[in-house]
Amino acid sequence: MSYAKVLAVGLVGLAGHLVEVEADLAAGLPGLTLTGLPDTALSEARDRVRAALVNSGESWPNRRITVNLLPAALPKHGSVFDLAIAVGVLAGAGELPLAPLGGVVLLGELGLDGTVRPVRGVLPGVLAAARAGITKAVVPVANAREAALVPGMTVRATDSLRRLIDFVRGAGPLLAIPPAPVPPTMDGPDLADVVGQELGRRGLELAAAGGHHLSLIGPPGAGKTMLARRLPGLLPPLSDAAALEVTAVHSVAGALPPDSPMIRRPPFQAPHHSASVAALVGGGSGLARPGSISLAHLGVLFLDEAPEFGVRALEALRQPLESGEVILARAQGTARYPARIQLVLAANPCPCAKPGGDAYCECSAQVRRRYLGRLSGPLLDRVDLQVRLMPVTAAQLLQDAGSVESSAVVAERVAKARAAAAARWAEHGWQTNAEVPGQVLRRRPWRLSRLSTVELERHLTAGALSARGYDRVLRIAWTIADLDGRTHPGGGDVTEAMSMRMGRVE
């Protein structure tokens, strides 16, 4: 037999595609030719596969070998096809029976000594195989727990090419999925550690309950970073479907924690202010990889010292904040990554940033405007809650810690508010108030009374609010009502929502 075909999976962004790996052995000058739009890493597989087969005790066929990856028009990236290529070459040479590999996806990178090394993107790859009707997969042992997260998929692991060859020949078993280590219980930072800042705590609770974006502006030491880092602890755990989606993004990025492949808590990303556009939204050579905004999908992206970020990096966030998706077009193809995040911005009010606040500031009004002007109006217009923090007083700093609410208490209220919002918008498929389109809130039966919105309309007419800002005030008002256990916002809720929305520093 001079022809063999086995299955693998290729990824374009998070989208997986079943790939047929064909191997044809013919008379002619010995060598291996790869076709099917391989990238550089995949083109180098010819050397890895040959060395791995020889070092696994197999002989390399002294024939002209052509390996074709179908569909040929789909760009192929990385070393994930090594294992399938090696098995296909052996099967095409008549050294392996194909029956045990019928309907089995093979994923893995080969070392020169024949070891099977872990690869990125195993979870979305196996998910794609399952959607294509495949029910069996062989993956590197280090990726086995990740692949086993896919419902209905029978996963077996191998640590070497030799072990897989013996299994196909009926001379030995593959490895079972290794048991997951018990991750250490690590509680996140508690909101009880934040003293004072009632307005900041209220803004954080509203952000958690409604899924709103948040900006915190105040002097150093006021608690901006402390508040932001406690937001994930107020959010409910991810559902099974959401956890798989988040885990798939981290799998592609190679950022899965080794102790627990399934990410159950909303992720938290806090890139340094020197981060580039590619680091924030995704990029890199070849097909673009996910950036911090996608790694924070269904979680929190925190930009500390936000005015210090590059202007291009900040402006690149505007489109994903609206669409909840990053689309990265490159010559090799277009990658799409989800980016439904909660953005939290933290900034000092001016460059000198005196701890005592405005009373001790040495900056001119022009310098202050220029500094915060690095956060453009269109970007801030997409931030629902804009809270200004005041310096912490001695009385607040020395108050009894027992009088401050903990994250657990606040998280309970947040969970109830989210449940109320999810029940209200269930027929539309929305989970939080931040997802609701503005036109829905401006129409019956959800439109608020004219008496409740008269001041809001005045601000819109005067130009103090944009149309987008008007809608976001309505969303915040609904979140305030949900937190307070009411079924409909009133005028007081709209007034508070306006103050939380328009609290920016001039």
- Predicted local distance difference test score (pLDDT) of residue 177: 86
**Structure-token match 């996608």, residue found:** 294
- For the chain, the domains span 3-168, 191-501
Greatest C-alpha distance within the chain: 88
CA–CA gap between residue 145 and residue 138 (Å, rounded) = 12
pLDDT tens per residue, range 342-369: 999 999 988 888 787 777 788 888 888 8
Radius of gyration of the chain (CA): 27
Encode 300-336 in three state secondary structure: EEEECCHHHCCHHHHHCCHHHHHHCEEEEEECCEEEE
pLDDT tens per residue, range 241-286: 999 999 999 999 988 876 677 899 999 999 999 999 999 999 876 6
CA–CA gap between residue 107 and residue 325 (Å, rounded) = 28
pLDDT tens per residue, range 127-150: 999 999 999 999 999 999 999 999
Question: Does pLDDT of 435 surpass 90?
Answer: yes
| Contact between 4 and 92 (Cβ < 8 Å) | yes
Question: 3-state DSSP call for residue 145?
Answer: helix
Predicted confidence band of residue 505 (pLDDT cuts 50, 70, 90)? very low
Q: Could you give the C-alpha distances from 63 to 42, 59, 96, 220, in angstroms and in order?
A: 21, 12, 17, 70
Question: Does pLDDT of 98 surpass 90?
Answer: no
Contacts by 289-292, CB closer than 8 A, 24 or more apart: 289/252, 289/253, 289/335, 290/249, 290/252, 290/253, 290/326, 290/337, 291/326, 291/337
- Predicted local distance difference test score (pLDDT) of residue 284: 75
Token reading at 169 = 């020949």
Question: Does pLDDT of 402 surpass 80?
Answer: no
pTM of this structure: 0.90
CA–CA gap between residue 1 and residue 90 (Å, rounded) = 10
> By CB neighbour count within 10 A (0-12 exposed, 13-18 middle, 19+ buried), where does 192 fall?
middle
- Predicted local distance difference test score (pLDDT) of residue 295: 96
CA–CA gap between residue 455 and residue 450 (Å, rounded) = 9
Predicted confidence band of residue 39 (pLDDT cuts 50, 70, 90)? confident
Token reading at 293 = 């905004």
Question: Given its phi and psi angles, is residue 121 left (phi above 0), alpha (psi -120 to 50 degrees) or beta?
Answer: left
- Give the fold, CATH level 3, of 3-168: Ribosomal Protein S5; domain 2 (3.30.230)
- Predicted local distance difference test score (pLDDT) of residue 195: 81
What does 363-420 look like in DSSP terms, one character per residue? --HHHHHHHHTTS-HHHHTT-SEEEEPPPPPHHHHTS-GGGSPPHHHHHHHHHHHHHH
Question: Does pLDDT of 182 surpass 70?
Answer: no
CA–CA gap between residue 351 and residue 354 (Å, rounded) = 9
Token reading at 302 = 């925190």
Question: 3-state DSSP call for residue 289?
Answer: strand
User: % helix / strand / coil in the chain, to the nearest 5?
Assistant: 40, 20, 40
Predicted confidence band of residue 415 (pLDDT cuts 50, 70, 90)? very high
**Structure-token match 């399938």, residue found:** 84
Predicted confidence band of residue 183 (pLDDT cuts 50, 70, 90)? low
Average per-residue pLDDT for the chain: 91
Question: 3-state DSSP call for residue 110?
Answer: strand
- Give the fold, CATH level 3, of 191-501: Rossmann fold (3.40.50)
| Contact between 126 and 9 (Cβ < 8 Å) | yes
CA–CA gap between residue 342 and residue 434 (Å, rounded) = 10
CA–CA gap between residue 372 and residue 349 (Å, rounded) = 7
